[in-house]
Amino acid sequence: MPMRSKFRGITVREGIVLHGPRGWGEFCPFPEYDDHEAANWLATTVEQVGADRPEPVRDRIPINCTVPAIAPDRAYDLVAGSGCRTAKVKVADHPGALPEDLARVEAVRSALGPGGAIRVDANAVWDVDTAVRSIRELDRAAGGLEYVEQPCRTIGELAGVRRKVDVPIAADESIRRAEDPLRVAVAGAADVAVIKCTPLGGVRRALEVAAAAGLPCVISSALETSIGLSAQLALAGALPELEHACGLGTVTLFEGDLVADSLRPVDGYLPVPRTAPSPEPALLEKYRHPDPERRAWWTERLTRVWEVLDRRHGE
């Protein structure tokens, strides 16, 4: 699935969709993830196709628009046309990116107006000193940030940044890539927990992780099509409390989708679907990977990861 702009370093998103007794699921771990980590993604797929979803406590989810590392004028247009009152802005896309980041954040503030919320995501690339300097400048450019997501890699670094800045800190990778997400101690290092059910092993597992984090939660996508995204919406719909807009408007980052009625925000909200949408045969064919060797790579990967998941369940 081609991306509209480079996002998370990629221009094309790849994965597999599967069908089971409860409908469709999506298996889309990023290519650099090993089979052990990818097994959590497959567990989410298995849950999607084989289990009923938890009962929702709300029928729609407030959504933030997501702003890639793009020019300020494009960022302004994206936010102004989104209908969202919260924007998540990607920063630190490359070394020396801060001047571009500041201009992008200023454009987003202009598009949102004074009442909108801006959060930024550095994807764990800063050290503590760089994070502190950058956060202070970005906070001024934004006229106040809602929070900064994963400014540094480790829990200890997050805690160090949190002690030195007045902006709330959100933990993402520190939770979902932890050896045991249920036991990672983020409460002293972050103010917000970013939860993604796709890499955590499913909606039910993610609800347990959210409860264990003991922090306000933001549900965010793992860059899925509408098929996989529907599981994230099921998680957001079942979460007991939801204080913040969620990062689930990411289908807009794709040039297309696999379903006819894409899960794209309307007036800043998305509905909570009771099942995953079904792909359109014509769209499956349109976005079928053109390289037979790459299709074989994904099929072989699915087989290997299935074996890992099977062994895990047998332990």
- The model's pLDDT over 5-30, given as tens digits with 9 standing for 90+, comes to 888 788 999 999 999 999 999 999 99
Verify that 166 and 236 share a domain, yes or no.
yes
Q: What is the CATH number of the domain that holds 287?
A: 3.30.390.10
pLDDT of residue 139: 98
Verify that 192 and 127 share a domain, yes or no.
yes
Verify that 190 and 204 share a domain, yes or no.
yes
Verify that 110 and 194 share a domain, yes or no.
yes
Verify that 77 and 21 share a domain, yes or no.
no
Tell me the C-alpha distance between 215 and 271, whole Å.
Answer: 24
Q: Which residues contact 219 (CB under 8 A, 6 or more apart)?
A: 61, 194, 195, 196, 197, 232, 235, 236, 239, 242, 246, 247, 248
φ/ψ of residue 53, rounded to 5: -85, 150
Asked if residues 41 and 199 have their Cβ atoms less than 8 Å apart, the reply is yes
For the beta sheet containing 65-67, the strands, ordered from the edge strand earlier in sequence to the opposite edge, are 65-67, 86-90, 117-121, 147-149, 169-171, 192-195, 217-219
| Catalytically annotated residues | 90, 196
pLDDT of residue 315: 67
Please name the residue ranges forming H helices in 214-291.
Answer: 226-238, 281-286
Verify that 103 and 22 share a domain, yes or no.
no
pTM of the model: 0.94
Verify that 177 and 289 share a domain, yes or no.
no
Verify that 38 and 148 share a domain, yes or no.
no
Please give the residue range of the domain that contains residue 31: 2-52+282-314
Verify that 208 and 304 share a domain, yes or no.
no
Q: What is the CATH number of the domain that holds 218?
A: 3.20.20.120
> Per 3-state DSSP, what percentage of the chain is helix, strand, and coil (rounded to 5)?
40, 20, 40
pLDDT in tens, 121-141: 999 999 999 999 999 999 999
Name the stretches of the chain with pLDDT < 70.
Answer: 315
Verify that 64 and 19 share a domain, yes or no.
no
Is 149 among the annotated ligand-binding positions?
yes
Verify that 77 and 225 share a domain, yes or no.
yes
Q: How many domains does the chain have?
A: 2
Is 172 among the annotated ligand-binding positions?
yes
Q: How many C-beta atoms surround the C-beta of residue 262 within 10 A? A: 15
Verify that 46 and 184 share a domain, yes or no.
no
Q: Which residue has the tokens 């503590």?
A: 128
